[in-house]
Amino acid sequence: MIELPLERDRRSAPTLVEQLVQGFAEAIEAQSLRSGALLPSVRQLAQTHQLSTFTVMEAYNRLVSMGLVTARRGSGYRVATAGAPATRASASDWQPPSLTATWLLSDVFVDHSVPIKAGCGWLPNEWVNGSGLHHALRAMSRVPAGRFADYGHPYGFAPLRERIAEQLDRRGLPVDVSNVLLTQGATQALDLIVRTLLRPGDTVLVEDPGYCNLLQILKLAGLVVHGVPRTPAGLDTEMLETLVTAHRPKAIFVNTTLQNPTGATLSMASAFRLLQIAERQRMWVIEDDVSRELAPPGAPLLAAMEGLQRVLYVSGFSKTVTPGLRCGYVVAERDVLRELARTKMAVGLTSSEAIERIVDKVLLEGRHARHVETVNERLKAAHALFEERIDAAGLELFHRPRAGLFVWARLPVEPERAGEIATAALRDGIWLAPGSYFRPDDTPSAWFRFNVPYSADDALWRFIDKVRSREVSL
C-alpha cells in the first residue's frame, strides 16, 4: 500500500479528490505502483484514510479518465498496462472536451476528465453526507421487495411529503401533504410547471442572468422570454414594471436565495414589490428556492408572504443531500397541484419511490441538520479564501454572499471573447462558466460564475493571472 498523506485544511489544500489523484499519479509515474497492480477497493481505501466512498470513487474515475487506471466489473481498479491501446495516457496527454452545447447540457455531468470544475453547479463529492446516505441505503435493503412492485403514488412518497410540509410550516408557510408534489429533481418541477400553466407563444420573465437549464426549458416550450436585470438586492423593479406594462407576461421565474449564478438573495423590499406587481398583472410567480438550506436565516420566502395564490414554490435536495438522487418538489394550491400531477403522470409516470425513501431516511435519521451546518461552515471558509484570491487579483465581484455555492465575477476580457477564454481554460483542465450561458438572449458577457468550493486550486488562479496579463493563447 502506498503512502497517501492527506492535508485536510481546506483553506489552503487542494480537495481530497485532487490529493488522491495526485498521490496515485505520482506513485504510478515513479513505478511504486507497477503496471497491472491492483489498487485498494473503494471501501478499503475509504476506511483506511477515513474518507467518503464518494471521494474515492471520484478520484478513481478521474484516474481512469486520465488513462492511468483501468476498471473492470468484478476485478476492481488496476494500474493501466504500459502500451495498452487507448487507455495508457499521461496527464500531459489529456485532451479537453469540446465546449459545445451538448457537453454543457448533458455530457458535463458524466465527464470526470476535467480536473478543476470551477464552473460546475454542485458541492464537491467529498462534502456529501456519506454516513447518512450509507445508513439510508442499509435501511432500504431491509424494506420488503414487494413494496417496490408498483409505480408508487402519483404525488410521491407520503412520509417525505409530510416532512417537507412540516419543514415549510416552520418557515412560515402552513401547508399539508395535499400541497406537495415530489418530482425527479427541481428542474423537472420547473418543466412540469411550464407544461401545465403555459402555452407556446406565451410571454414570461426570467432573471438576467438566471438559471441556464430553465432558459433551455423555456426555449423548448416555445415561449417568448424577456430578462429582468438582477441586482445584488434582487430584481430591477423599475425594469420589471416596464416589461410587465409592455409585454403582459403570464409568469415570472425567480431564485429567492443565493441565486444561480450570482449568489445574491432578494431583499425584503424587492420581494414585496415583486409580489405587488404580480398581483396587479395576475401573473404566476415561480419561486425556485433550491439553496434555502445554505442561506443565512431571514431571507424572504415569497410563497409564505403571498400564500400560494399566485406563487408556486420549487425546491429539492441536490444542494444538501446529493444531486445523484434526483428528488425535488413543487408546492402549490391544491387545484393547481392536481393539474401538475396529471402532467407528471402523462410525461413520465411516477417519480422513484425508492429514491424518495432514501432521501426521507437521510432527513429523518442521517443527522441531516448537523451535516448542513458543517457544509455551511465549510462554505463560509471557502468564500473567505475565494474573496482573498479575487481581491488580490483585482477582479470585480457582483456580490459577496459569503454563503452558498456561487459567486459572480468579472474577468478582464472583452465580452465577445469570453467563450474563447473558457475554451482556453479547458486546455488547462479548467472548466469555466461564462456569463452568456446564463443570459436569456445569449448576450456575450465578461462575467463568469464560479463555484466557490471548486475554485481553490492554484492552477485556476495561475490561469486567471494569464488572462489578466493577456498571456492566454486563444
Q: What is the pLDDT of residue 82?
A: 62
- Please state whether the peptide bond connecting residue 209 to the residue before it is cis, i.e. omega within 30 degrees of 0: yes
pTM more than 0.85: no
Give the Å distances, CA to CA, from 444 to 12, 41, 136, 385: 33, 46, 45, 28
Q: What is the DSSP letter of 72?
A: E
Question: Domain map of the chain by residue range?
Answer: 10-94, 133-365, 370-468
Rg of the chain on CA atoms, in Å: 23
The pLDDT profile of the chain, 474 residues, written as one tens digit per residue, is 667 777 766 555 567 887 888 888 888 888 888 888 898 888 888 888 888 777 887 788 778 767 788 877 666 888 987 654 433 334 444 555 555 544 555 545 545 567 889 999 999 888 989 889 999 999 888 888 887 778 889 999 999 999 999 999 999 999 999 999 999 999 999 999 999 999 999 999 999 999 999 999 999 999 999 999 999 999 999 999 999 999 999 999 999 999 999 999 999 999 999 999 999 999 999 999 999 999 998 899 999 999 999 999 999 999 999 988 999 999 999 999 999 999 999 999 999 999 999 999 999 998 999 999 999 999 999 999 999 999 999 999 999 999 999 999 999 999 999 999 998 998 888 999 999 999 998 899 999 999 999 999 999 999 999 999 888 766
Contact 112, 65 (CB under 8 A): yes
CATH architecture of 133-365: 3-Layer(aba) Sandwich (3.40)
CATH of domain 10-94: 1.10.10.10
Output helix, strand, coil percentages for the chain, rounded to the nearest 5.
45, 15, 40
Contact 124, 49 (CB under 8 A): no
Q: What is the pLDDT of residue 67?
A: 76
Query: Top-level CATH class of 370-468?
Result: alpha beta
Cβ atoms within 10 Å, residue 107 = 12
Place of cell 409568469: 251
Decide whether 133-365 matches 370-468 in CATH topology. Answer: no
d(CA 336, CA 314): 13
d(CA 326, CA 319): 11
